[in-house]
Amino acid sequence: MTSNGTSTAAQRLFIRVTRDTLPRVADRYPFLYLERGRLEVDDSSIKWLDAQGECIRLPVATISCLLLGPGTSVTHEAIKTAAAANCSICWVGEDSMLFYAAGIIPTANTRNMRRQAKLASDPKLALKVAKAMFARRFPEADLEGRDLKTLMGMEGLRVHKLYEAKAKEYGVGWKGRAFVPGKFEISDITNQIITSTNAALYGILSSVVHSLGYSPHLGFIHSGSPLPFVYDLADLYKCDFCIDLAFFLTGKLAGQYNKYTVADAFRERVLQKDLLKMAVDDIENLIGEASARRYRQ
């Protein structure tokens, strides 16, 4: 909820929460990010004690999810109170750029997850969602009569061409996408930036998916991976937020990877393009209430 001392409020995905910036009680706020402080209970209500010593009472009944960032501690009683208010908890990295774990409350409304499961388990409906995702990325493509295997083949070719086009646009040498788990440093700088920004993107989207009550495990394109729905969504945004940024920064960094420069540039692009709102709107349009009538048999 507070800055780490090296970033201004304008550079943060989530600004510092104060009494003046809390959501209105009339609203149900999707998520609230907290860092460097303590979450505890006083008189059956949750309060946040930040690093500056300020005490803020949080209206958890109006918050769907609390994102707990670095330097955060939480009491057992605070977890119980949040659960009673149907407010879930996620543990994340700074500005939710890495997603670590989530606590699912037993009383949570499962409406969104049930709708997602219905769409994912019906081959015809799942293919409609997959086609909507491809159409979102490639609006000019002819998807009529295409099955998922064909769509994925089309995607692979288009992404390959995208890498080549970005390399040419920014004048960067490119030998192809390469990443060896656990050996980040052996990749070239462009691949390193793509890998790190992909991880940041997955963290943000994991937090959004959980906060809206969907499951990251029920995908429509990806399968056999830990977070298929997150990977489905990430493909909608990788071009602008990861790939283009990686080729742009490669020249700027002169061959030397700098995680702070990459993180700041990624954060700035996320803010400029309003990824948080974009992701919420896309999920709603693809599988949420806005899409219910479109997929109804």
Q: What is the pLDDT of residues 83-92, one digit of tens each?
A: 888 787 888 8
pLDDT at residue number 290: 64
Average pLDDT over residues 171-189: 85
Per-residue pLDDT tens digits for 207-221: 788 878 899 999 999
Question: Residues 220, 224, 226, CA angle at the centre, nearest 5°?
Answer: 90
pLDDT at residue number 26: 44
198 CB contacts (<8 Å, ≥6 apart)?
234, 238, 242
How far is it, in rounded angstroms, from Cα 293 to Cα 264? 40
Q: Band of the pLDDT at 61, cuts 50, 70, 90? A: confident
Question: Residues 42, 43, 44, CA angle at the centre, nearest 5°?
Answer: 90
Average pLDDT over residues 56-67: 81
Cα-to-chain-centroid distance, residue 104:
17
pLDDT at residue number 11: 58
pLDDT at residue number 122: 95
Higher pLDDT, 206 or 169: 169
Q: Band of the pLDDT at 277, cuts 50, 70, 90? A: confident
Average pLDDT over residues 181-197: 85
Average pLDDT over residues 251-275: 86
Per-residue pLDDT tens digits for 12-28: 555 555 555 554 444 55
pLDDT at residue number 5: 39
Q: Band of the pLDDT at 130, cuts 50, 70, 90? A: very high
Average pLDDT over residues 161-186: 88
Q: Average pLDDT, whole number, for the chain?
A: 82
Q: What is the H or E stretch that residue 6 is in?
A: none
- Return the structure tokens found at 266: 């990624």
pLDDT at residue number 127: 94
Cα→Cα distances 11→3, 151, 206, Å:
9, 37, 21
Backbone angles phi, psi at 66, to 5 degrees: -105, 125
Instruction: Lay out the sheet containing 32-34: strands in order across.
Output: 32-34, 65-68, 88-92, 99-103
Average pLDDT over residues 276-292: 83
